[in-house]
Amino acid sequence: MVLLSRIIASALIGAGLVVSQAALAHGDVTPQAVDVSTLKPLGEKYADENPYRGNAEAIRIGTSAYNQNCARCHGLEAISGGIAPDLRKLELDKETDQYFLQSVRRGKVRNGAVYMPPFEGILQQEAMWAIRSYLDTRSEFAAGNKAPELSPMEVLAKKSNCLSCHSVDSKGVGPAYREVAEKYAKDKKAEARLVAKVRKGGSGVWGKVPMPPMQDVSEDDVKSLVKWILAGAK
Judged by CB under 6 A, the stretch of 35-43, 55-63, 139-147, 169-177 that binds ligand HEC is 169-177
Q: Which of 21, 67, 137, 203 binds ligand HEC (CB under 6 A)?
A: 203
Q: Which of 39, 168, 209, 233 binds ligand HEC (CB under 6 A)?
A: 209
CA distance 10 to 77: 25
Q: Applying CB under 6 A, what is the total number of residues that bind ligand HEC?
A: 55
For residue 21, CA distances in Å to 13, 57, 72, 106, 157 come to: 10, 33, 10, 21, 25
Considering the rule CB under 6 A, would residue 52 count as an interface residue with ligand HEC?
A: no
- Characterize 177-214 residue by residue with b for buried, 16 or more Cβ atoms within 10 angstroms of its Cβ, and e for exposed: bbbbbeebeeeeebeeebbebbbeeeeeeeeebbbeeb
Judged by CB under 6 A, the stretch of 3-11, 34-42, 43-51, 145-153 that binds ligand HEC is 3-11
CB 178 within 8 A of CB 209: no
Q: Which of 205, 213, 215, 231 binds ligand HEC (CB under 6 A)?
A: 205
Considering the rule CB under 6 A, would residue 88 count as an interface residue with ligand HEC?
A: no
Considering the rule CB under 6 A, would residue 204 count as an interface residue with ligand HEC?
A: yes
Q: Which of 21, 98, 103, 170 binds ligand HEC (CB under 6 A)?
A: 103
CA distance 173 to 11: 8
Considering the rule CB under 6 A, would residue 101 count as an interface residue with ligand HEC?
A: no
One-letter amino acid identity for 10? S
What string of DSSP letters covers 113-175? Answer: EEEE---BTTB-HHHHHHHHHHHHHH-TTSTT-PPPPPPHHHHHHHHTTGGGT--SSS-SSS-
Q: What is the dihedral of CA 21, 208, 195, 215, to 10 degrees?
A: -70
Q: Which of 174, 176, 181, 233 binds ligand HEC (CB under 6 A)?
A: 174
Considering the rule CB under 6 A, would residue 5 count as an interface residue with ligand HEC?
A: yes
Considering the rule CB under 6 A, would residue 161 count as an interface residue with ligand HEC?
A: yes
| Positions that interact with ligand HEC (CB under 6 A) | 1-2, 5-9, 11, 19, 22, 69-70, 72-74, 84-85, 87, 100, 103-104, 108, 115-116, 119, 131, 160-162, 164-166, 173-175, 180, 194, 197-198, 202-207, 209-212, 214, 217, 222, 225-226, 229
